[in-house]
Amino acid sequence: MFIETETTPNPATLKFLPGRMVMPEGTLEIRDRQAAQHSPLARRLFAVQGVSSVFYGGDFVSVTKADGEWQHLKPAILGGIMEHFLSGEPLFDGAEAEQAAHHAAHDDEFFDPKDQQTVSTIKELIETRVRPAVAGDGGDITFRGFRDGVVYLTMKGSCAGCPSSTATLKHGIQNLLRHFLPDVREVEAY
């Protein structure tokens, strides 16, 4: 099994591509050992000293480090990913754990029902123009809400804590949404 590794704009995060599907639907960010308890792969990765976050995308795993050097962490992370996929274990222990992970990834959104048309357009633009680009960098951005002209987005994976995340939100996404939707004044991280 060959696992490709890519750098991301976030120097604390590396993207690992195992050459197969990781998360069949959606994305999931696991931020600590306790949240990793229902995922054999996440348990393996959090066993590596220095790992602070694991993010599952469609065909990749992004790993964020709290400390340590990549040259020391990367071999252990590659080993954990390879061991997981060669074992044939599922990504989650049981259907309940997968459902809990799905619900955690889809928290309640907030917006005024009169803004439904605007929200639908925001979601479409994020889905078609923003998410594919940030997935290429090992992360994800999801819609959380819209109120008083402000779009609230959650950044996950390599996007969370990335030094360029503010520029991505303010200059990239905000400009895109303002271009198509005059109702949008600004974009904020949530």
Q: Cβ neighbours of residue 102 under 8 Å, at least 6 residues apart?
A: 25, 26
How much is the CA Rg of the chain, to the nearest whole Å? Answer: 17
pTM across the whole model:
0.81
Q: Could you report the per-residue pLDDT of 21-49, keeping only the tens digit for each?
A: 999 888 899 999 999 999 999 999 999 99
Distance set, CA 21 to CA 125, 163, 176 (Å): 25, 28, 30
pLDDT for 18: 96
Q: What is the mean pLDDT of residues 108-137?
A: 91
Q: What is the mean pLDDT of residues 153-162?
A: 81
pLDDT for 95: 62
Chain CA centroid to CA 69, Å: 22
DSSP 87-102: HT--SSSHHHHHHHHH
Higher per-residue pLDDT: 147 or 98 = 147
Higher per-residue pLDDT: 142 or 50 = 50
**DSSP H stretches of helix in the chain:** 40-46, 70-87, 94-105, 116-125, 131-136, 165-167, 174-180
Q: Say if CB 125 and CB 177 are below 8 A apart.
A: yes
Listed residue (29, 31, 72, 71) closest to 49, CA to CA: 72
Please report the domains of the chain, with CATH numbers, ordered by start residue. 4-105 (3.30.1370.70), 110-189 (3.30.300.130)
pLDDT for 21: 94
Mean pLDDT of the chain: 89
Listed residue (31, 12, 27, 9) closest to 126, CA to CA: 27
pLDDT for 171: 82
pLDDT for 98: 57
Q: Could you report the per-residue pLDDT of 91-108, keeping only the tens digit for each?
A: 998 765 555 555 554 557
